Structure 1
């Protein structure tokens, strides 16, 4: 399982302050990008700079923790474990709804921009930030599909490639339209319909009932 990031050894003295730091960092990073300083984040969170560094080793560690929390709010580790053992179509449809709900937000453009610009500071940062957020989701979807393949609910094959296929069925060109402001975000009904349709098409390709 992906490890928890952004948390030093031992329990932080005040989880409320840690959450306030994460909230402030999220707000400022989306508004201003990587140029925001830890001093500004601490000030907006209403904590001392020393408190920030008691919870996070440096700014990159803090950014990674913010991105990981965004991912965790979409699908928690507990949700993932339940999904791995549940019926494939149900688990994939539920995952698709959560995934589409997250990428349906225009503010995700801020995360895309932040991750891509991180390379100017350190070539390793984009991969590190990707792993904490989108990469974690990618591994979870792959894990759900792999478990379904092992149970015989889906045809055996490359689970990672299958996850990529399913994500493409969910997103299509619509995600790009939303990001560019060419259309409004999906409604809850559209999200549900898109998630279900993607899984239905996916099972036409990978479902064992369609095997010869």
Structure 2
């Protein structure tokens, strides 16, 4: 069974704040969210909120990061050392699609995209806290796989970005546009299995 590194469990007040901020950022977007509203929704004092998150930017980054942590997208490079490569990629692929195809992630992505030209800071923070960290984690995973002789590549960063793009697929675009329903469990499993098999052949 793979062992994973997790961030220290947040204290109850921090969990309350992050739960409230997640709801509000989804409802109102970055621009429409205020620290006062988060404090009210979380039922904490402003002092408690600002002690843990001195600015809205820091709260936004923490909210996105917490979502990625819950989905298992932040993991140590050696987490899957005892698992065959294809099995590891299928597990990671499922984690990734379960997050980015989720209703919450789609709503957040739609909000960020809609605000990008008006509030570019929100888009930049979203990318740094979510996609950029996920990409770095997968780059480290593929660097280790290459060092162990499991894959042949001189560009693990390219392999990582292509893997994530393959997992994202056309489904993500359709979900963003409201053009399809969220895939069911069996559909997700089948999609990831086919995508990983194709990806593995490309690395052979």
Q: TM-score, normalised by structure 1?
A: 0.82
- Alpha-carbon deviations, 1:96-126, whole Å to 9, x = none? 00101111113323322444426644x5553
Is there any run of 5+ residues in structure 1 with no aligned partner, and where? 5-10, 208-212
What's the counterpart of residue 104 of structure 1? 101
Counterpart contact for 1:21–1:41, Cα < 8 Å? yes
Counterpart contact for 1:84–1:143, Cα < 8 Å? no
Residue 15 in structure 1 maps to residue 11 in structure 2 = yes
- Alpha-carbon deviations, 1:25-82, whole Å to 9, x = none? 0001100112121111100101111110010111110010000001111115456541
What's the counterpart of residue 188 of structure 1? 185
Q: How many residues of Structure 1 are paired with residues of Structure 2 in the alignment?
A: 196
| RMSD of aligned residue pairs (Cα, Å) | 2.4
Is there any run of 5+ residues in structure 2 with no aligned partner, and where? 1-6
- Alpha-carbon deviations, 1:147-180, whole Å to 9, x = none? 1111111112211211222223222212111222
Corresponding residue SS for 2:132: helix
**Cα separation, 1, equivalents of 2:117 and 2:53:** 21
- Which stretch shifts more, 135-144 or 78-87? 78-87
**Cα separation, 2, equivalents of 1:105 and 1:77:** 17
- Which stretch shifts more, 62-71 or 175-184? 175-184
Corresponding residue SS for 1:154: coil
Distance 1:47 1:129, change over 3 A: same
Counterpart contact for 2:20–2:41, Cα < 8 Å? yes
**Cα separation, 1, equivalents of 2:57 and 2:173:** 28
Residue 33 in structure 1 maps to residue 34 in structure 2 = no
Corresponding residue SS for 1:47: coil
**Cα separation, 2, equivalents of 1:25 and 1:38:** 9
Distance 1:45 1:190, change over 3 A: same
Counterpart contact for 1:25–1:41, Cα < 8 Å? yes
